[in-house]
Amino acid sequence: MRTAPIVAARVAYDTDGTPLAPDDGDLYHARHGALEQARHVFLAGNGLPARWRGHERFVILETGFGLGNNFLATWLAWRDDAQRCANLHFISIESRPPCAEDLAALPRDPALAPLATQLAAAWPPLTWNLHRLSFGSGRVQLLLAFGDVSAWLPQIDAAVDAFFLDGFAPAKNPHMWEARLFKAMARIAAPQASAATWSVARPVRDGLRAAGFDCTRAAGSGGKRHITIARFAPGFAPRSTPRRTRVRSRVRDEPVLIIGGGLAGCATAWALAEQGIASSLFERSATIASAGSGNAAGLVHGVVHRDDGRHARFNRAAALEAHRQVAIAIGRHGVGGAMAGLLRVESQGASIANMRATTARLGLPADYVRAVTSEEASGLAGVDIEAPAWFYPGGGWVDPRGLARSFIERAADRIDLHLGVAIAGLRRDGGDRWLLLDATGQPLASATTVVLANAGAALDLLDASGWPIERRRGQVSAAAAGPRATLPRLPLAGAGYVLPPIDEQLWFGATSQADDDDVAIRREDHRENLDRLGRLLPNLRGIDCDSLRGRVSFRYSSVDRLPIVGAVPLSALGARLRPGLGIAGSPRPEQPRFAPRAPGLFVFMALGSRGIAWSALGAQVLASAITGSPAPLEADLLDAIDPARFASRSFRRAGAAAGRQDQRLEGPIAGGSAGA
Ligand SMILES: Cc1cc2nc3c(=O)[nH]c(=O)nc-3n(C[C@H](O)[C@H](O)[C@H](O)COP(=O)(O)OP(=O)(O)OC[C@H]3O[C@@H](n4cnc5c(N)ncnc54)[C@H](O)[C@@H]3O)c2cc1C
Ligand SMILES: C[S@@+](CC[C@H](N)C(=O)[O-])C[C@H]1O[C@@H](n2cnc3c(N)ncnc32)[C@H](O)[C@@H]1O
Bridge partners (DSSP) of residue 389 are 345, 372
d(CA 171, CA 94): 18
Residues in the chain with pLDDT values less than 70 = 238-252, 579-580, 582-589, 655-676
SS3 for 309-345, per residue?
Answer: CHHHHHHHHHHHHHHHHHHHHHHHHCCCEECCCEEEE
pLDDT of residue 667: 38
- Determine the distance separating the centroid of ligand 1 and the alpha carbon of 304, expressed in angstroms: 25
How many angstroms is it from 380 CA to the middle of ligand 1? 31
The span from the CA of 55 to the CA of 501, in Å, is 50
* Spatial distance between the Cα atoms of 213 and 255, rounded to a whole number of angstroms: 38
* Nearest ligand, CA 610: 1
For the CA of 458, the nearest ligand? 1
Determine the distance separating the centroid of ligand 2 and the alpha carbon of 396, expressed in angstroms. Answer: 34
| Closest-CA residue to 300 (of 280, 281, 317, 323) | 323
User: Ligand 1: distance of its center to the CA of 294 in Å?
Assistant: 7
CA of 167 relative to ligand 2 center, distance in Å: 5
User: What does the DSSP 8-state code read for residue 488?
Assistant: -
Tell me whether residue 637 is exposed, middle or buried, using C-beta atoms within 10 angstroms of its C-beta: 0 to 12, 13 to 18, 19 or more. Answer: buried
314: Cβ contacts below 8 Å, ≥ 6 apart = 562, 633, 637, 640, 641
Give the whole-number percent of the chain exceeding pLDDT 90.
84
Give the strand order in the sheet containing 337-338: 298-300, 396-398, 337-338
Burial of 378 (0-12, 13-18, 19+ CB in 10 A): middle
Centre of ligand 1 from the C-alpha of residue 486, in Å: 31
H or E, element range at 122: helix 113-122
Q: Which residues pair with 541 in a beta bridge?
A: none
Q: In which element (H, E) is residue 453 found?
A: none
| Distance of alpha carbon 379 from the chain centroid | 33
The verdict on the CB of residue 337 being under 6 Å from ligand 1 is: no
Bin 432: left if φ > 0, else alpha if -120 < ψ < 50, else beta.
alpha
Q: Do 644 and 589 contact (CB within 8 A), yes or no? A: yes
Ligand 1 lined by 263 (C-beta under 6 Å) = yes
Q: How far apart are CA 63 and CA 479, in angstroms?
A: 54
Cβ-count burial 88-117 (b if 16+ within 10 Å, e if not): bbbbbbbbbbbbbebbeebebbeebeebbe
Best mutation site among 6, 65, 91, 199 for ligand 2, i.e. most ligand atoms within 8 A of its Cβ? 65
Sheet-wide strand order for 57-63: 130-135, 140-146, 87-94, 57-63, 160-165, 189-197, 226-232, 213-219
Residue 625, H or E segment: helix 611-627
For residue 167, the tally of other CB atoms under 10 A from its CB is 24
Q: Which of 395, 288, 376 is nearest to 338 (CA)?
A: 395
Q: Is 396 in the pocket of ligand 1 (CB under 6 A)?
A: no
Tell me the C-alpha distance between 400 and 617, whole Å. Answer: 15
Q: Provide DSSP, 543-604.
A: --GGG-EEEEEEEEEETTSS-EEEEEEGGGS-GGG-TTPPP-S-SS-SSGGG--EEEEEEEE
Order of strands across the sheet that contains 26-27:
12-13, 19-21, 26-27
Give the count of beta carbons closer than 10 Å to the beta carbon of residue 412.
11
The confidence score (pLDDT) of residue 315 equals: 98
**What pLDDT, on the 0 to 100 scale, is given for residue 224?**
87
Distance 152 CA to ligand 2 centre (A): 13
Ligand 1 neighbour 564 (Cβ under 6 A): no
Establish whether residue 150 lines the binding site of ligand 1, counting it when its CB lies within 6 angstroms of any ligand atom.
Answer: no
Task: Identify which ligand lies nearest to the alpha carbon of 618.
Answer: 1
Mapping DSSP onto H, E and C, the string for 1-66 reads CCCCCCCCCCCEECCCCCEEECCCCEECCCCCCHHHHHHHHHHHHHCCCHHHCCCCEEEEEEECCC
Q: Is the CB of 395 under 6 A from ligand 1?
A: no
Which ligand has the minimum distance to the alpha carbon of residue 181? 2
Handedness of CA 288, 400, 367, 503 (dihedral sign): positive
Residue type, position 262, single letter: G
d(CA 308, ligand 1 centre) in Å: 27
Q: Is the CB of 405 under 6 A from ligand 1?
A: no
Whole-angstrom Cα distance, residue 373 to residue 387?
A: 7
CA of 326 from ligand 1 middle (Å) equals: 17
What is the distance in A from the centroid of ligand 1 to the CA of 248?
27
Ligand 2 pocket, CB under 6 A: 9, 28-29, 62, 64-70, 93-96, 148-149, 166-168, 173, 175-176
The helix or strand, by DSSP H or E, that contains position 71, with its residue range, turns out to be helix 69-79
510 Cβ closer than 6 Å to some ligand 1 atom: yes
What's the pLDDT tens digit per position in 596-613? 888 999 999 999 999 999
- The b-or-e profile of 177-195 (16+ CB within 10 A means b, else e) is bbeebbbbbbbbbeeebbb
CA of 521 to the centre of ligand 1 (A): 18
Atom index in ligand 2 nearest the CA of residue 164 equals 6
**What is the atom index within ligand 2 of the atom nearest the CA of 27?**
1
Diameter of the chain measured on Cα atoms: 83
Residue 65 Cα to ligand 2 middle (Å): 5
- Say which ligand is closest to the CA of 28: 2
Q: What is the pLDDT of residue 670?
A: 29
Amino acid symbol at 106: L
Instruction: Determine contact, residues 64/176, Cβ cutoff 8 Å.
Output: yes
Please report the pLDDT score of residue 253 as a whole number: 76
In 64-167, which ranges are E strands?
87-94, 130-135, 140-146, 160-165
Question: How far apart are the C-alpha atoms of 341 and 17, rounded to whole Å?
Answer: 39
Atom of ligand 1 nearest to the CA of 260: 34
Nearest CA owner, ligand 2 atom 27: 66
- In this structure, are strands 469-480 and 492-493 parallel, antiparallel, or unpaired? unpaired
First to last CA, the chain: 39
Q: Which atom of ligand 1 is nearest to the CA of 285?
A: 47
In ligand 1, the atom with minimum distance to the C-alpha of 553 is: 53
**pLDDT for the residue numbered 671:** 28
CA dihedral 172, 165, 184, 146 (to 10 degrees): 80
CA 259 to CA 454: how far, in whole Å? 6
Q: Is 457 touching ligand 1 by the criterion CB < 6 Å?
A: yes
Question: Measured from the CA of 509, which atom of ligand 1 is nearest?
Answer: 1
